[in-house]
Amino acid sequence: MIAPLEIAANVLMTVSILLAGRNNIHSWWIGMVGCVLFAVLFYQVNLYADVLLQLFFIVTCVIGWLQWRRGNGGKPLPITRTGWRSLAWVVPAGVVAVVIYGLLLHRFTNAYAPFIDSAVLVFSIIAQFLLMNRRIETWGFWLLVNTVAVPLYYSRELYLTSVLYAAYWVNALVSWYWWRLQARRAAATP
């Protein structure tokens, strides 16, 4: 049976994620509420890295909202690209962080799938920083996160959450295309 908490968290996050993909600033405050609900849900099923991730998301939702609104000298932040050189150190550093945090969870908690849970945490943080700065590459990282999260949440019997994360995978593909299109249009406009 799907708990009302899981339903409410997923409804809010679905709206937030769809709005983010459409480059809509209201994504941030709706996401904040959804993150609070998900933090409680993940705590109940011993996914502690995901609880920490939700707390991080709450803080970054406030920052992201402010940056999108006034992050470019008082003007809305444009969609831009992050250079591959800038990202070249991020993936290896992310893998190291996954291993270290996974080892800590494995050693000191009763966490379920500590390394997989840590991968969701670490690469979600990277994706969130890119999203906060309206970087197109955020969607590639969200694809990775969703690919790992779907089987993880399914294994914890969070069936609705796993199905929606599969839908978020599709949304990340569409959003990646949409943001690239918007960036091209903005660059073509004098």
Which structural domain range is residue 98 located in? 4-188
- pLDDT(69) > 80: yes
Q: What letter represents residue 123's amino acid?
A: F
pLDDT of residue 84: 85
Q: Residue 100: CA atoms inside 13 Å, Cβ hemisphere, count?
A: 7
Sign of CA dihedral 115, 152, 177, 126: negative
- Residue 156 structure tokens: 């914890």
- Residue 154 structure tokens: 């399914």
- Mean pLDDT to the nearest integer, 90-101: 95
Measure the CA–CA gap between 180 and 184, rounded to whole angstroms: 6
pLDDT of residue 167: 93
Q: What percent of the chain has pLDDT over 70?
A: 99
Q: Which residue has the higher pLDDT, 189 or 25?
A: 25
pLDDT of residue 181: 94
Q: Which residue has the higher pLDDT, 48 or 76?
A: 48
- pLDDT(148) > 90: yes
- Identify the three-state secondary structure at position 44: helix
Q: Which residue has the higher pLDDT, 128 or 187?
A: 128
The pTM of the whole model exceeds 0.75: yes
Provide CB contacts within 8 A for 133, sequence distance 6+: 67, 71, 77, 80, 82
Measure the CA–CA gap between 60 and 116, rounded to whole angstroms: 22
pLDDT of residue 1: 67
Give pLDDT tens digits for 15-47: 999 999 998 999 999 999 999 999 999 999 988
pLDDT of residue 47: 87
Q: What percent of the chain has pLDDT over 90?
A: 76
pLDDT of residue 75: 77
- Per the structure, the count of domains in the chain is 1
- Mean pLDDT to the nearest integer, 95-120: 94
